[in-house]
Chain A
Amino acid sequence: QLQLEESGPGLVKPSETLSLTCTVSGGSISSLTHYWGWIRQAPGTGLEWIGSIYYTGSTNYNSSLKSRVTISVDTSKNQFSLKLTSVTAADSAVYFCARRVDLGGSLKFFDNWGQGALVTVSS
């Protein structure tokens, strides 16, 4: 059974870099039909897609965050990671990692999610 688990600091200072890692177990991150993504949810609000990565390192980012976001993958550890630079209080959120299924064309969806990691930006 596939499981995803986020890890990383729960508190980040303003202007610093938020770093989170998602460890995938019960399946291979090198799957040919899956991408891996990050989605965040600010307190009491909806969901915002941050970006996705394929095991080859190919990435897609949300243009609203693109200048500050880097997503990377480590196939040897079955992990992928998120870095968000120059954070502000507006970046405080629960960050979810998720597996994205691609069935062809625009037929894509996030079918497995981690439990989420709360990150607070505060001095």
Chain B
Amino acid sequence: DIQMTQSPSSLSASVGDRVTVTCRASQTISSYLNWYQQRPGKAPNFLIYAASTLQTGVPSRFSGSGSGTDFTLTITSLQPEDFATYYCQQSYSIPWTFGQGTKVEI
């Protein structure tokens, strides 16, 4: 199975900050990397696919980059509604696996 490792596990930030979350795959996954946001008690919300393509309706302050084994999610100008946990997920091979999550806290 491909292991996905996110860093940091949590971070503290303020409204208006620029935030970067890193995701590393245990083997190359090309650009088959997705990002999700999960607010407490809610279902995950799909943000980005193919490492850098924003889902329709996702604010442009979110961006993704990377390929191979190393990927990043960046949020420019953090907004109050962005405080949540973010998960990466690889779709390169079954079983599809998620990172352990990065909690973005105030």
By a beta-carbon cutoff of 8 Å, the part of chain A in contact with chain B is: 45-49, 60, 62-64, 96, 103, 106-116
By a beta-carbon cutoff of 8 Å, the part of chain B in contact with chain A is: 1, 30, 32, 34, 36, 42-46, 49-50, 55, 87, 89, 91-101
Other contacts beyond A108-B91, A109-B49: 20, CB < 8 A: A46-B87, A46-B101, A49-B95, A49-B98, A63-B1, A64-B95, A96-B43, A96-B44, A106-B91, A107-B49, A107-B50, A109-B89, A109-B91, A110-B46, A110-B89, A111-B55, A112-B46, A113-B45, A114-B43, A115-B42
Q: Do residues B43 and A48 form an inter-chain contact, with CB atoms below 8 A?
A: no
Q: Do residues B46 and A111 form an inter-chain contact, with CB atoms below 8 A?
A: yes
Please, how many angstroms separate the alpha-carbon atoms of A60 and B99 in the complex?
20
What B residues does A64 contact at CB under 8 A? 1, 95
Please, how many angstroms separate the alpha-carbon atoms of A100 and B46 in the complex?
11
What A residues does B97 contact at CB under 8 A? 49
What B residues does A111 contact at CB under 8 A? 46, 55
Please, how many angstroms separate the alpha-carbon atoms of A39 and B96 in the complex?
10
Given A49-B95, A107-B32, A107-B50, A113-B100 contact (CB < 8 Å)? no
Q: Do residues A115 and B43 form an inter-chain contact, with CB atoms below 8 A?
A: yes
Q: Do residues B42 and A109 form an inter-chain contact, with CB atoms below 8 A?
A: no
Interface centre among A45, A46, A114 (most CB of B within 10 A): A46
What A residues does B96 contact at CB under 8 A? 49, 108
Q: Do residues B100 and A46 form an inter-chain contact, with CB atoms below 8 A?
A: yes
Q: Chain A: which residue is nearest B4 at the CB level?
A: A46
Please, how many angstroms separate the alpha-carbon atoms of A15 and B32 in the complex?
37
What A residues does B91 contact at CB under 8 A? 106-109
CB proximity of A113 to chain B, nearest CB, Å = 4
Q: Chain B: which residue is nearest A60 at the CB level?
A: B94
CB proximity of A100 to chain B, nearest CB, Å = 9
What B residues does A49 contact at CB under 8 A? 95-98
What B residues does A106 contact at CB under 8 A? 30, 32, 91-93
What A residues does B95 contact at CB under 8 A? 49, 62-64
Q: Chain B: which residue is nearest A50 at the CB level?
A: B95
What A residues does B55 contact at CB under 8 A? 111
